[in-house]
Amino acid sequence: MPLSRKVFKMKKLFLYSIVLFGCTLMSCGDDEVPVGTTSEVTLNFTANYGTNMLDSDTQTTHDFEEESTVRFTEFRFFISDVVFTTEEGTDETALIEIDEIDFSRSNMDAKYIRSVPTGKYSGIKFFIGVEAEFNNTKPEEYASEHPLANTASYWLAWNSYIHCKLEGFLDNGTANEIPFSYHTGSDDLLRSVTIPYNITLAADGSFDLDIMVDVEKILYKNDTYWNIEEFPATHNPSNPDDLNTANYIMDNLSEAFKIQ
């Protein structure tokens, strides 16, 4: 090959390398996002009973089976390892390590603001309850401000944190209301929640994500309400009925979340 043609080819290769390098620096392509940029994400957890917002007024009643109603005096649960997921499933962006959400409190603010790397995400994933790593610890091991320091959220009989508490009263038209108290604990009752949702975070932007839990779905499945009269509590871990009830509550809770 003549020298002039060799030189011409080398010049073309050199120019192509410069263009390619320039595109890399300038993020050529519409889907590219500058490395190191972040967006402000606000996660807001809310609770409903069907189409009605769940409030902290313990006297508020909600329709239940037939002519009966329920009212709630306590509803709280732990969330742990909250992450944004990607379509590839290989990368996860951490949002919340662990916290307890208590909808029983009138001043409850289940809102979390995080600085998250920009890019595209395919949804959000988290656990309902306390993961085994933390569940093997005890409240006295934590500083007072830590979510796991609350002794009221630990159950010595189960040697476990209480993943979820749902308490209240059923009014079925008889003289007295029927109390119910569903507490769930132990590693076996930990549940995972994955909600697919297309999320695009732009540089220096903001993104709000409202995650609602429907409490009615915790007590209602396959067109049937839970039999509160027959199974009103989950306080005995050695009782098969209590364990079955705890599994029912946690299974339904894990399916009661959606993004609004």
Q: What is the model's pLDDT at position 20? A: 33
What is d(CA 77, CA 50) in angstroms, rounded to the nearest whole number?
19
For residues 104 and 55, is the Cβ–Cβ distance under 8 A? no
Is the pLDDT confidence value at 52 over 80? yes
Task: Answer yes or no: are the C-beta atoms of 221 and 57 closer than 8 Å.
Answer: no
Query: Taking the model in full, what pTM does it have?
Result: 0.84
Which amino acid does the sequence have at 197? Y
Residue in this structure with the two tokens 């001043």, named with its chain if needed: 107
Q: What confidence category does residue 106 fall into, taking pLDDT thresholds of 50, 70 and 90?
A: low
Q: Looking at per-residue confidence, does 221 or 89 come out higher?
A: 221
Task: Tell how many helices (H) and how many strands (E) occur in the chain.
Answer: 3, 15
Flag whether pLDDT at 77 surpasses 90. Answer: yes
**Alpha carbon of 251 to those of 31, 94, 224: distances in Å?**
38, 24, 15
